[in-house]
A and B are shown apart, each in its own frame.
Chain A
């Protein structure tokens, strides 16, 4: 029998607000344990949550980027369970009345564009972290992360393969990072994903029994875990077994999914409306304000780069991989007036320098203005493409302008015809044998003379001028 996987992803994204969702504590990563806490996020007796409006701003951005319907009114709920990293004994989340729902994004698949539905997106607070002492039977609680704002993006079960799931995840990741509302760091857990997966015979409408996959902390993990789970479920079904509804953890080292103890799953969260927070009302004015501040999204940007700058789909893709890189490129293109050359220099030298040092474009020592100035100098013939290679490297090292580097290195091209002619005369005089051979038809020797001339001028000769002059002089001989 042929089986078809049905996959739905739940993504948790940590929002890049400066302060927590219900208090004014800092959200900065990596501080001393429990230094970013206050009575509110510690859940001490009597204190109350106050919603950080910025969190809603960020949620609305994501809603608009994923074509979601924004509900005018939504509310918070309490999700009750006991765990030492959960100071109040409940997590404030959203349950019955989501603020944002029924959206979609397009992904690229082998069969072309595919639209994947988004069930809902809601806000919630993160829990703390347990630190287990390896030497003694003790655990410590770090509550710096409690109250850090998260959004949970729940996708429809529209994905039909591990590849599609990975493509969807990358799109969601890309949008979040583009919106500058999440740093997208999967290792530090600011971008987390759980997957629901089931198999059904092709053509059947009803879903099969699903499992939930957790603990996947890279795109590759997600794809591998899903591939494994598809095979596992398929084997089970084909051999007459049944899939048990359960939560399974991805074991990266072993390359398998493993069942979590079912006891931990017997949760009854006893959701009920959070009485300490009033409903959130998002009016038209608030929506308009966010809409006006929305940046261009990667897909739109890619299409615009292709049409506006006549870049290939590949180039447009590379240049829009981050908002900062795209902005950098556009600035160079605008200042130089030569988008194609700008694209080549940015994608070539600049990205290579940055990648070598594992730096981001935000840390690039070459300003767009300097790179554009260099491109203009090539265009004007002041420097050659070869010189430019040296100049760009020097600019990256020193952060200086191309003019400064040219002056420092004495790199200006020799465009003085008389000087070049004198140099060439001397070379031809020194090599009468080669001249004779050339003139008897061995045209390959032309390159030899060019090389000699370049060597003599330290590479500063204007190549076009040199070629023209050399041809003329060889003909004369």
Chain B
């Protein structure tokens, strides 16, 4: 096995024993990038030069018996997290020249932990999309089938991990943007509780839904990454001032006697038979591991998509108002007057999906429609939250499919936004409720495409999520395939 194919915990072991160095690991990752990146297109910006400097520092620290939790581990960063001195585009022409003078909070934490940054990964423009096809920089490809999408909006990060172009990555999840691509690329992806990870420096899509989380090759790595990313940050008012447990302590604890809810609303029309079969298999595995699976109801599930497509565009329409060509980023070179410059800049700077959502959001917030749309959506959102609160009164966790289908073909849904929006059907409710969710591989389709299963838990129960996910991973023994690249 090449170094770049290993997990964080395997590499940590090798680094500690002196069997390898951070520089070797970094070189291995960049060799892989050179070999496959032209096919996968996971990255927008590579950070090779700084990566080797970071690796060198990590090696020195390790030699002295120091170094953080991720010392010397190559990590890829979704291009939505601001990196001081490194281009941060958010997948948009609008920010195609934007170099932030600050690091996002998670970047600081990763730096402190000694991570080696491989680069900034491709994404749907401003995280709007489910396929990475809306990126100004072109679509990324699914390493399992280059004709297919890797999922979105963090498709670049998921593809980079699946293709071994890095060891782990971070993404952001507004309606499923970590879990959906994780499922479609056959890796682990977690969206933490809203407020668990600081959003400072994360370029906002929908502020009340956005959350940063990790992509990893297994559940143990996910726990490790969560240890690094989590924690209170005074620069984010919505960040939770709550103690962060060592998430590794939940691994291997077992789930005997657990009650796991299976929401019946998630097993209806639109669910691909192969996905359903794989997820039914996961239910069986969980029962074999000692948990009791029971059917539960989340009665407001049918409204999730509608509520999401009011709330998210509404917040986005406001969050994206700052891109006006005045202070930074792209500016259209001509304009008769101020208004004309605004219009031309925003017309040329944003892609179609972003414009579509800005228009939906502007409409939903406009006077005369606010009550019917935004306000109503907010009210239904609290009902959706309440559904989960009720479910977690009797269940330790919930189990659902992550996506309705395996990865679809590039271009297949680009002309039909509604079809595209349906790919996040099972992940959106988590963001509306603010609870944590994790997607873990649970099998392959007949054509060899990965399928994921999703576990959900109550607020700040990431530990329990990792507990059940690791138990599932252990018992399921999903065949370890690698994409044929």
Contacts and interface: CB of A to CB of B under 8 A. Distances in A.
Interface stretch (B67-75, B96-104, B419-427, B475-483): B96-104
A90 B321 contact: yes
A270 B366 contact: yes
Contacts of A399: none
Given A51-B237, A268-B366, A45 B100 contact: yes
Interface in A264-323: 268, 270-273, 275-278
B234 A46 contact: no
A61 interface: no
Contacts of A48: 199-200, 235-237
A40 to B, nearest CB: 8
B321 A88 contact: yes
Interface stretch (A79-87, A175-183, A459-467): A79-87
Contact of A47 (B88, B102, B238, B314): B102
A78 interface: yes
A380 B374 CA distance: 78
Given A87-B322, A272-B314, A42 B362 contact: no
B199 A141 contact: no
Contact of A80 (B200, B202, B324, B365): B365
B267 interface: no
Contacts of A260: none
Contacts of A87: 322, 327
Contacts of B367: 268, 270
Contacts of B206: 275
B175 to A, nearest CB: 15
B370 interface: yes
Nearest to A43: B322
A60 B409 CA distance: 59
Nearest to B202: A46
B237 A45 contact: no
Contacts of B407: none
A89 B200 CA distance: 19
Interface residue range, chain B: 35 or more
A88 B317 CA distance: 11
Nearest to B326: A84
Nearest to A80: B318
B322 A46 contact: no
A46 B101 CA distance: 12
A82 B342 contact: yes
Contact of A270 (B90, B200, B318): B318
Contact of B203 (A46, A88, A278): A46
A275 B236 CA distance: 11
Interface string B134-145: 000000000000
A45 B101 contact: no
A255 interface: no
Nearest to B320: A89
Nearest to A274: B207
Nearest to B365: A270
A432 interface: no
A300 B461 CA distance: 56
A287 to B, nearest CB: 22
B204 A46 contact: yes
Interface string B265-303: 000000000000000000000000000000000000000
A426 interface: no
B399 interface: no
Contact of A46 (B201, B208, B314): B201
A327 to B, nearest CB: 37
Q: Which of A44, A50, A271 has the most CB of B within 10 A?
A: A44
Contacts of A88: 321-322
Contacts of A49: 237
Identify which of A50, A88, A272 gathers the most chain B CB atoms within 10 Å of its CB.
A272
B418 interface: no
Contacts of B327: 42-44, 87, 141
A82 B323 CA distance: 10
A39 B237 contact: no
B322 A89 contact: yes
A202 B137 CA distance: 68
Contacts, number: 101
Tell which of A51, A82, A278 has the most Cβ of chain B within 10 Å.
Answer: A82
Nearest to B338: A84
A23 B88 CA distance: 23
Nearest to B328: A44
Interface in B335-373: 338, 342, 362, 365-367, 370
B95 interface: yes
Interface string B203-219: 11011100000000000
Contacts of A50: 234-237
B305 interface: no
A49 B322 CA distance: 15
Contacts of A82: 321, 324, 342
B207 to A, nearest CB: 4
Interface in B75-103: 81-82, 88, 90, 95, 98, 100-102
B133 interface: no
A273 B365 CA distance: 11
A45 B322 contact: yes
A89 B238 CA distance: 21
B315 interface: yes
B312 to A, nearest CB: 11
Contacts of A89: 318, 320-322, 324
B318 A46 contact: no
A81 B201 CA distance: 23
A80 B95 CA distance: 21
A47 B204 CA distance: 9
A50 B342 CA distance: 28
Given A50-B235, A270-B366, A272-B314, A45 B203 contact: yes
B326 A141 contact: yes
B79 to A, nearest CB: 11
Nearest to B94: A45
Contacts of A46: 81-82, 100, 104, 199-204
A73 B206 CA distance: 24
Contacts of B374: 272
A90 B318 contact: yes
Contacts of B365: 80, 270-272
A50 B201 CA distance: 13
B318 A45 contact: no
Contacts of B201: 46-47
Contacts of B95: 45
B237 A80 contact: no
Contact of A278 (B104, B237, B314): B237
Contacts of B314: 272
A-B pairs, top 5 by smallest CB distance, nearest first, are: A89-B321, A275-B207, A270-B365, A275-B208, A45-B203
Given A39-B102, A46-B202, A277-B237, 4 more contacts: A46-B104, A80-B318, A82-B321, A87-B322
15 contacts: A45-B90, A45-B98, A46-B81, A48-B199, A50-B234, A80-B321, A80-B365, A82-B324, A84-B324, A89-B322, A270-B317, A270-B362, A270-B365, A275-B238, A277-B237
